[in-house]
Structure 1
């Protein structure tokens, strides 16, 4: 660690100002006015009593004023912050401690500054505008071009970007890339001009251009509890992301796939890579082709753009600025443990200025790399500068049992903050690929879209509870973290973050309104009273805030520092979790303890077996230099020790397949017995007995046929079982297309033993929809124009008497074109002997069999969408159909006699 102190500085018009420094042995702990910037400790001089503006060097003059660092004796109150703002005294960025990058007009009164608590004013030496890598000559090969290097320059808002570009051109510095609506410019510069570049007054920051983008790739719904909040049960939760839009920022076009039917926008088309396809399927696939490969938010709109590391590309900005997209996913890396970069600042800024936005990222698959944190190759290797953002989500990767993958990148962040933020299943998932195919997909690339998809589900849950109002992305992040299942060490850790996502508990917190928002200013305390009900076995209180973006290169990156203290009904006080950030493997793997946190923009107090009563939640503005600061308080009450989470609703299993049973266990000490029943609980059979820390087990489904399946889990006095029966049955085999005619198609399949009827599916505007039910193993249904549209179809068996239904078959596909079978003699005879009149009709239509040898027939009426309007049986040769409640349009009337069928068109006027 380098220590420096500013000496007395002099005005010099003819040469660039160089602040003289000398080695200082005073440590930060001894001097509260020492500031930390990258790898240097800097002692700020107490010079306000003798300071005059003419002491500032020429390279500090900008826009009829000055830029530099200003330090206060103590963090200014909100009144002083507001007074400065009203007088155009701009406190641009905060640098711990009590120090800001400033712009003050040239006529600013030094006396006013003294009276406002200013201690020190110094110019910013050029070296402090350069990233640590640039100062130390760490230039990656991607940034070296002959004797030139590629850098990203950030200029002050006080000057126009075009002015900067024109001025740089006079110095033989060329623009490599300019970003819309941004002060960031990528430059190609001679490798010997860094010092001169950094001394330019409009230059705020310079860093090595971002490292090349690398994709982070190598049975998610149940372990994420996404299935619990998107159920098929009547009256169950149906949060599938409808009304919410997600964004896949990835490797280009996502291939055409039936699982995105009617919901994909932007770069859609076959060809190219398949990384974005895998991400999109986990996040938003509908399972239209394979019903078992449904993604998290199957009702969300999917927008596809290219991954651009700057996050300033027009495709991204257009969609997030217009609030067209609320949740983004980027499963890419750029370097490793890169510190708080311009890109980290960009994504943090976007989430503070666009409240409905939530950025979700992969944490990376770089465990095993030493990325400079100081604890070897198993720690501090979260990839990419954008993932170091305070307000975004970085996701760890587990297998389908919740075991952390060895490749999953670990925290801390560069400054010791908790990263990753949360964990999800990514490894070995089956997801979409291009041209209606699937692929095996994994890594944190697959974990992140799991979080993004569950987030979209939670957005919908919030909208349903709040009259369609969109939630803050920060609130959704807070609820995700506070309701996560605790995996790894107790409390947060640097492997799983705050734990494994639990979509069900998160949705219940939203439904119950267990959240509030307020704001806080410097030095003040807000108290919120929350009642903990009797019977609560665990209470969690969390405060979270979208922190103001830090200045690039800052360490620590925290700007506004809030403190949480919880006071119980007995006046006992409780502090939040804290982790040991010492760069040593043993320290970093030590379980969290309780204390005061001055690193993270999230704090949580967890209480086991809390007494019922009123708890005071004190939120204090310990250090709020950029206030006021909005924050969220969220709370979670767990009242059951053991909760089965899968299967709990109506599910359809296949004999002999492997299913993974999932549950939540809180404060459990006894082994857990897992059992199943196929007769609605009349008898039980053992699946396994597992340790109290285990939260899932595999089960080979019994080879039976039933609609009365249940799972039960027991640990000592605690027990839970499925809320609804599940079915076990084989699905129909041999599904084929028999004929495709201009307005209808005929399909057939093999019978399933015990089936009473069959539900037949056709792809609708977005999803596979039931268009008919028959007791036969063949069906004829109306279809849209088959000469231009593919037909996707499937079938499921059911027995309503026994209460079971099979899983729908994987969808078949008939590519566009006719394959119309000419009617056989018997069918032709039936068709010629059926009369449908009047046609068109308005109130009533008659079906008559001309040949008296035909009688006792069945009638089915289907509309043009494939929906069955009515069925009836006729005795004799004629029947009347009441169509008075039909809307105007085309209908299909199918008549079945002695196993023969014919279909007539009916026009209702």
Structure 2
């Protein structure tokens, strides 16, 4: 048996970071040295002397051999197809030009030699062990007495049952197996690792995943989600209808009316200590039924709830993915820090390819200020968990409502220098749903990720409505999110905000305008796509993105298929994409992006300011496509307006004297922003404030006692200006609602009058949402309610004021629940006493008179109660001829009830004190 010469250099973490940077920048000279974890390996050029008898017993598997095969050049698509046709499996790609393979024992060496193979070697056991295992870095969570807990991944060529049986013979205990997958959790003596790694069916061994740790209104406006979900007849109404979203978290969610009729799986009170999933779910999918201020991103989506499982192999998750119930998942949990490309990373990347419409959304983590071994200190490389390192998933940074980065938000790069996080969203200082119909403060990247998941659901619906109901590919949605994001931090992408802060409105418009395409490219080929840019364009952004095949566990860099994009303008000038310096050095990592060749990421973007009009060629080249052909998406944004008001932009219902935040988008502006407000559809304007040129928001409270349906916002920067697309409302809603009577399937609801209101919309909770069941011109309504057959009721009600003449409708008042049997069923009975007695003046702020008309009564008692049913005044044995008085001048404004008992008859009258 011939010996194999693999020259290996142990290059540890900091030096390794320099190595992959150098290798990533090498584009011309052939490089046959491969890097795997912390080692650099020189592959021998042995194909001219190689024989299958050279392979050791540890490489024999399923009537064939496993090992590493290296080509002189990345094989063309024809060669890749030829190998597949002959059952020559190129399993995982390992740069450079190298694959993990399984070939039948009968494979012709001449076939390999004639198709560009340079080297064949077995895989030594140490290359099957994760870096932590190989170096003895065993976390406390992976210690099991005298054993350690590991995850083993076996090759596809053997069954899990076979592997489990073989492990039993070795006295290795199985902790957990995952049906349908090749991963097995084991408990094993530390001194058995070498023997285990040398077994031919073992593909990879790593420590079990680190413990799961949760990553603990204004967001809708910052995300521009409100522009996608205007809740008006004239505006966009993308609320995620038809899309399934999955909360993978700390157990049951709710019960809460904000998920009425749309929640499935683990539903119910999970205890006050397990409310993390409640907060995640409300931001992602809450309807704001109880309080419209806390409406989530995708209020029409179907919300599924399961427990978080770090393996992503749990049946609860995969069943919902496989049967099409769920398209978007959210997991706001950390498992370790900058864990590298693990078996879990492989799983989530593969799931995104196997189920093209599946989008995994994760929190980036709250671990900034933690040194996770990237080599640049505690401000870089601290994205938490292997799943977040995935190429085909989204990891979300955390911002305040004003778009500034929260200091604790984890920062990139990924372990191999790729751009992470992918995008940013508001997660800090949110208010979201809690158990038992409550709301509570919620924040961290845990709140940012469901914001992205919810906006993604809105975009899925936008795509389906534009494309005949067809579900989009998750890679397309991810590309659209990143390409339309508002730039934040350094110009271009960076390792803090990723590609910027999500802008759902721009993303939705891109989908509506059809500014996207898909194609595929093979090794060495180039496709050219032409897009037309109109005159007056302020900015052109073009992005190519592809869901990349899963890399081998431990691979670095993790990129498998490397595509290049260049954009050529009408004058033949070539523009290259953004690139970042991922050298593990704080200065390098914080340096703004430049333009050049990217060898790390499965996304590239070209940005051109003030582009000339004409046709632009987008050239996509398969620079290195070892597992092709590779599908890709090109999305492009043509921004024609330098300045765009995004909130309030038409149809919003604001309350007077209650602070909100005005938002606008600005591209290539330099002057400060002047923000103005109109109450009369733009006839006159009042300046609110002037803010700095680098600011795109302003906190503002509409004036007190203002009622208008013709409100507009105008923002001006030098020669550029924009106004809200349509009017919005400023008004107050009723200060309270009162339930006077519930009887015989009817409820009587009353409320104090709202200034300038002409009528009132009365709401009850329907199948999914609060629905208008009556419109009345009085301050009282009788509505039908359902009784359960035993005389009990359970319903939610609310009221909004409106003035159709002036064109405004107020925000709904916070909904109130009634749960119980009949209430005051005697009220409203048209008996003699009720028709005889009257109150005046009503409303009153001084004395109110009780008039008995022409009737004479003896034994008269009077009781005054407030809206809570508390008695605040009584008078017995009232002597009266035809009237008596009550002084209410000291009482607070509100609704009261006057109960009169006379000669054995009782009636109750409403009294409004103003």
TM-score, structure 1 normalization: 0.88
Aligned to 1:712: 714
User: What are the within-5 Å matches in structure 2 for residues 525-604 of structure 1?
Assistant: 525-604=526-605
* Contact preservation (8 Å) 1:337, 1:384: yes
SS of the residue corresponding to residue 790 of structure 1 reads strand
Residue 742 of structure 1, CA deviation: 3.2
Residue 344 of structure 1, CA deviation: 0.5
Residue 817 of structure 1, CA deviation: 2.5
* Cα distance in structure 2, aligned partners of 1:338 and 1:118: 33
1:812-853 Cα deviation digits (max 9, x unpaired): 10014222522555368999xxxxxxxxxxxxxxxxxxxxxx
RMSD of Structure 2 on Structure 1 (CA):
1.8
* Cα distance in structure 1, aligned partners of 2:744 and 2:633: 58
Residue 801 of structure 1, CA deviation: 1.6
1:612-658 Cα deviation digits (max 9, x unpaired): 11111100000000001000000000000000000011122222111
Asked if residue 260 in structure 1 is aligned to residue 259 in structure 2, the reply is: yes
* Contact preservation (8 Å) 1:328, 1:452: yes
* Cα distance in structure 2, aligned partners of 1:715 and 1:175: 66
1:492-529 Cα deviation digits (max 9, x unpaired): 00000000100000000000000000000000000001
1:298-327 Cα deviation digits (max 9, x unpaired): 000000000000000000000011121000
User: What are the within-5 Å matches in structure 2 for residues 227-626 of structure 1?
Assistant: 227-272=226-271, 273-626=274-627
Counterparts in 2 of 1:785 and 1:91: CA distance versus 1, 3 Å: same
* Cα distance in structure 2, aligned partners of 1:517 and 1:817: 60
1:773-793 Cα deviation digits (max 9, x unpaired): 111111101112255652100
Aligned to 2:807: 803
Residue 727 of structure 1, CA deviation: 1.8
* Cα distance in structure 1, aligned partners of 2:205 and 2:557: 19
Residue 20 of structure 1, CA deviation: 6.6
SS of the residue corresponding to residue 62 of structure 1 reads coil
* Contact preservation (8 Å) 1:580, 1:592: yes
1:439-475 Cα deviation digits (max 9, x unpaired): 1000000000000000000000000001111001110
Residue 233 of structure 1, CA deviation: 2.5
* Contact preservation (8 Å) 2:8, 2:41: no
Aligned to 1:875: none
- Give the alignment partner of residue 818 of structure 1, picking from 813, 822, 825: 822
Asked if residue 648 in structure 1 is aligned to residue 649 in structure 2, the reply is: yes
Residue 209 of structure 1, CA deviation: 0.5
* Cα distance in structure 2, aligned partners of 1:129 and 1:729: 66
Counterparts in 2 of 1:129 and 1:700: CA distance versus 1, 3 Å: same
* Cα distance in structure 1, aligned partners of 2:827 and 2:223: 52
* Contact preservation (8 Å) 1:91, 1:102: yes
* Contact preservation (8 Å) 1:9, 1:20: no
Residue 360 of structure 1, CA deviation: 0.3
* Contact preservation (8 Å) 2:7, 2:42: no
* Cα distance in structure 2, aligned partners of 1:664 and 1:565: 27
Residue 665 of structure 1, CA deviation: 0.2
* Cα distance in structure 1, aligned partners of 2:388 and 2:832: 68
Aligned to 1:767: 769
1:717-775 Cα deviation digits (max 9, x unpaired): 11111122222222102311111123111111111121111110000000000000111
Aligned to 1:737: 739
* Cα distance in structure 2, aligned partners of 1:130 and 1:445: 32
SS of the residue corresponding to residue 281 of structure 1 reads helix
1:195-241 Cα deviation digits (max 9, x unpaired): 00000000000001000000000x11111001001113222111000
* Cα distance in structure 1, aligned partners of 2:727 and 2:650: 7
Residue 683 of structure 1, CA deviation: 2.2
SS of the residue corresponding to residue 139 of structure 1 reads coil
Residue 181 of structure 1, CA deviation: 1.2
276-285 or 701-710, which deviates more: 701-710
TM-score, structure 2 normalization: 0.88
* Cα distance in structure 2, aligned partners of 1:266 and 1:789: 26
- The alignment of Structure 1 onto Structure 2 pairs a total of residues equal to 818
* Cα distance in structure 2, aligned partners of 1:816 and 1:555: 63
Aligned to 1:697: 698
* Contact preservation (8 Å) 1:232, 1:649: no
Aligned to 1:794: 798
Residue 680 of structure 1, CA deviation: 2.2
* Contact preservation (8 Å) 1:35, 1:97: yes
SS of the residue corresponding to residue 821 of structure 2 reads coil
* Contact preservation (8 Å) 2:8, 2:39: no
Aligned to 2:114: 115
* Cα distance in structure 2, aligned partners of 1:233 and 1:824: 37
* Cα distance in structure 2, aligned partners of 1:327 and 1:820: 48
Aligned to 2:665: 664
Residue 188 of structure 1, CA deviation: 0.3
SS of the residue corresponding to residue 635 of structure 2 reads strand
* Cα distance in structure 2, aligned partners of 1:820 and 1:85: 79
Residue 87 of structure 1, CA deviation: 0.4
* Cα distance in structure 1, aligned partners of 2:792 and 2:455: 35
Aligned to 2:174: 175
186-195 or 797-806, which deviates more: 797-806
* Contact preservation (8 Å) 2:245, 2:327: yes
1:382-422 Cα deviation digits (max 9, x unpaired): 00000000000000000110110000000000000000000
1:268-290 Cα deviation digits (max 9, x unpaired): 01023000000000000000001
Aligned to 2:901: none
* Contact preservation (8 Å) 1:72, 1:120: yes
* Cα distance in structure 1, aligned partners of 2:766 and 2:208: 47
* Cα distance in structure 2, aligned partners of 1:66 and 1:734: 77
1:876-896 Cα deviation digits (max 9, x unpaired): xxxxxxxxxxxxxxxxxxxxx
Aligned to 1:78: 77
* Cα distance in structure 2, aligned partners of 1:728 and 1:461: 29
* Cα distance in structure 2, aligned partners of 1:397 and 1:23: 39
SS of the residue corresponding to residue 560 of structure 2 reads coil
1:244-274 Cα deviation digits (max 9, x unpaired): 1100000010020000000000000102300
* Contact preservation (8 Å) 1:516, 1:632: yes
SS of the residue corresponding to residue 193 of structure 1 reads helix
Counterparts in 2 of 1:334 and 1:755: CA distance versus 1, 3 Å: same
* Cα distance in structure 1, aligned partners of 2:101 and 2:563: 23
Aligned to 2:45: 46
* Contact preservation (8 Å) 1:791, 1:816: no
* Contact preservation (8 Å) 1:323, 1:356: no
SS of the residue corresponding to residue 286 of structure 1 reads coil
Residue 24 of structure 1, CA deviation: 9.7
* Contact preservation (8 Å) 1:665, 1:692: no
* Cα distance in structure 2, aligned partners of 1:138 and 1:19: 28
SS of the residue corresponding to residue 656 of structure 1 reads coil
* Cα distance in structure 2, aligned partners of 1:341 and 1:410: 19
Aligned to 2:209: 210
Counterparts in 2 of 1:632 and 1:20: CA distance versus 1, 3 Å: closer
Residue 681 of structure 1, CA deviation: 2.1
* Contact preservation (8 Å) 1:382, 1:409: yes
SS of the residue corresponding to residue 191 of structure 2 reads coil
1:336-375 Cα deviation digits (max 9, x unpaired): 0000000000000000110110000000000000001110
Aligned to 2:861: none
SS of the residue corresponding to residue 107 of structure 1 reads coil
